[in-house]
Structures are given as C-alpha cells and as structure tokens.
Amino acid sequence: MSAKLIDGKAIAAAVRARVKENIAEFTGRTGVRPGLTVVLVGEDPASQVYVRNKGKAADEAGFLSRQIDLPAETNERVLLDLVARLNADDTVHGILVQLPLPGQIDEAKVIEAIDPRKDVDGLHPMNAGCLFTGRTAFIPCTPYGILRMLDHEKVELKGKHAVMVGRSNLVGKPAAMLLLSRHATVTICHSRTVDLPYVVRSGDVVVAAVGRAEMIRGSWIKPGAVVIDVGMNRNAEGKLCGDVAFDEAKEVAGLITPVPGGVGPMTIAMLLQNTYEAASRRAAVR
C-alpha cells in the first residue's frame, strides 16, 4: 500500500492565505504595510527563480516588497553598506540576502550584519542561539515549514525517533532542534555516518536534507515511517528529484513528501509568516 502524500502546495496555500488576512488587518490597524526586501547578488539561475517566486508571493500577500539586484562582482563592503541602510530603514521589516553569494563575499559576515529583528531567514547567530536555548526566535524557513507540515498531518513526535540526515545551518541543525523541542529523540547523521542505512531505518520520522539525488533508498525506510524530503536535485535523466528514492520509499512509508510540491512551497510560505511576525514585534515595542 502506497504512502499518503503530504501536499505541501495545499498546506502552504493555507498559510499564505492566513498571512494575507493578518497583513490586511495589521495594515488597517496600524497604517503600516510590512516590508520585505530581498537582495540578489549575481545572476545564478536558481537564485533568480527563488527570488522571483518570493517577490511574487510577498506582493500577493500585501507586503511592501522590494528586490535589489547587485552585479556578481559586487564587493563585500558594498553589500555590508547596503545591509546597514536596510537595517536603518523603518519601512523594511524583513531582510533576506539570497544565498549562495559570490566567492569574494564572506556569507557569515553578511548574515551577522543583518539586524536580528529583521533576520526573517533565521540565520543570524542570535536567532540560532535563541532556537538552541528554546527562546523566541525567527526560525529558518524550511525547518519552520517542515514543522508546520508535521503539525498539519497531526504527526505525534513525543517519544518518537526522528532521524535528521544532513547537518547544515540552514536545515539540518535547526530542524533537529525543532524536533527535539517537540520531545522527539533526535539523531543527526550525514553522508559520512557509518552504516547510514541502519540509522535511517530506525527512524519513525526521517528528514532528508543531504543534497544527493535519491541517496536514501526505499529499503532504508522503516515501514510506516514519515518521510520529509528536503532535497532538490536533478537525476541522471535530468528530472527534478529529492534526496529520497521516491518511487521506492512511497511503497514503505506511511507519509511522504513529493519533490516537487512538498517542502519547497512551505519555505516561501514561512518566509511570509516570519516577515509578518517581524512587523508585529516591531509594532508591539513602539
């Protein structure tokens, strides 16, 4: 019996609709349109698509949406100066600098330069530290979306074994912290883990964010497990696929996300949620 598909598009649409309602109410009450500014350095095709989709979603939700394009040869000081100006701009509630950045720019410096109160990507060390210690923080958008999907499907995490395959600052580490906050027992593993199939097979919930096309096979999945595939790759035939061998895994898992149409739409939806929260927090302290 095939697994039930988790429809990320539908869940994301519901989140975006709620954010749009909240924005309309907020703007009507305060006279302020929450502002999101996205900065794109260079002309990476994938980044251009992501940024365009983020801008379109922000416009549709009622945000004051801006995109700033900089040439690939932009130096670090120019970008840091731009971030400083955005930090000081009261019409900007959320700042997102699209990653990756060209090699001459230190990504860590740029992330640290963003005002933590406007860090709607949730990557600033202050927000990461708050997440780690269980305090209120902006959560990175993809892990935030994963948690929302699990909540939507009423997946009980308390006491369950969650296996996080991947250890990036963007997905793996924050997702592990979120699962831990829901009282799951969490194992973080990666491509160098000894006997990775054995570790993955022990998971009641498996989150795959390792960046290798169809690396996780169906035989690695525990029968009935929940499988969340964060990967976005091209296989040998050029077809878009995840980190999980979907056709194999769907015959074993209980719930599974497709690629595309799973986690991807949630990332943009939660960016909008974070930006609305940033504007709300700013209004509350005035």
CATH number, domain with residue 173? 3.40.50.720
What percent of the chain is predicted at pLDDT more than 90?
A: 92
Whether 260 and 148 map to the same domain: the answer is yes
Whether 180 and 110 map to the same domain: the answer is no
Whether 105 and 164 map to the same domain: the answer is no
111-135 average pLDDT score: 96
Question: Among residues 121, 204, 229, 243, which one is catalytic?
Answer: 121
Please tell me the predicted confidence (pLDDT) of residue 46: 83
**Closest Cα to residue 164, out of 143, 136, 140, 139?**
143
Please tell me the predicted confidence (pLDDT) of residue 118: 98
Rounded CA gap, 16 and 147, in Å?
A: 16
Six-digit token string for 162: 């969650």
Phi, psi angles (nearest 5°) of residue 123: -105, -15
Please tell me the predicted confidence (pLDDT) of residue 45: 86
Residue 126 lies in a domain: no
Q: Is the pLDDT of residue 14 over 90?
A: yes
Whether 83 and 185 map to the same domain: the answer is no
What percent of the chain is predicted at pLDDT more than 70?
A: 99
Six-digit token string for 259: 């690629």
Residue 273 lies in a domain: no
Question: Among residues 98, 118, 119, 243, which one is catalytic?
Answer: 98
pLDDT band at 1 (very low <50, low <70, confident <90, very high): low
- Asked whether 32 and 283 are in contact (CB, 8 A), the reply is yes
Q: Is the pLDDT of residue 285 over 70?
A: no
Whether 151 and 246 map to the same domain: the answer is yes
67 is catalytic: no
pLDDT band at 236 (very low <50, low <70, confident <90, very high): confident
Q: How far is CA 28 from CA 14, 62, 93, in A?
A: 21, 12, 17
- Asked whether 38 and 54 are in contact (CB, 8 A), the reply is yes
Whether 102 and 163 map to the same domain: the answer is no
Whether 149 and 246 map to the same domain: the answer is yes
Whether 87 and 150 map to the same domain: the answer is no
Residue 72 lies in a domain: yes
Residue 25 lies in a domain: no
Please tell me the predicted confidence (pLDDT) of residue 217: 98
> Would you say the C-alpha torsion 148, 154, 158, 164 has a positive or negative sign?
negative
The count of residues in the chain is: 286
Question: Among residues 9, 20, 44, 54, which one is catalytic?
Answer: 54
98 is catalytic: yes
State the burial class of residue 43 (Cβ atoms within 10 Å of its Cβ: 0-12, 13-18, 19+).
Answer: exposed
Q: Is the pLDDT of residue 286 over 80?
A: no
| Structural domains of the chain, count | 2
**What count of Cα atoms within 13 Å lies in the side-chain half-sphere of residue 244?**
33
Q: Is the pLDDT of residue 177 over 70?
A: yes
Q: Is the pLDDT of residue 102 over 80?
A: yes
Give me the CATH number covering residue 65: 3.40.50.10860
Residue 48 lies in a domain: yes
113-125 average pLDDT score: 97
Whether 86 and 150 map to the same domain: the answer is no
Whether 82 and 153 map to the same domain: the answer is no
First-residue to last-residue Cα distance in the chain: 55
54 is catalytic: yes
Residue 8 lies in a domain: no
Residue 238 domain boundaries: 141-264
Provide the β-strand partners of residue 197.
none
pTM over 0.85: yes
pLDDT band at 138 (very low <50, low <70, confident <90, very high): very high
Whether 163 and 101 map to the same domain: the answer is no
Q: Is the pLDDT of residue 211 over 80?
A: yes
Please tell me the predicted confidence (pLDDT) of residue 44: 86
Residue 249 lies in a domain: yes
Whether 195 and 250 map to the same domain: the answer is yes
Mean model confidence pLDDT for the chain: 96
Residue 14 lies in a domain: no
Type of residue at 245: A
Question: pLDDT tens for residues 17-34?
Answer: 999 999 999 999 999 999
Six-digit token string for 174: 């924050």
Residue in the structure block whose two tokens are 């869940």: 11
pLDDT band at 225 (very low <50, low <70, confident <90, very high): very high
Q: Is the pLDDT of residue 234 over 90?
A: no
Question: pLDDT tens for residues 241-264?
Answer: 999 999 999 999 999 999 999 999
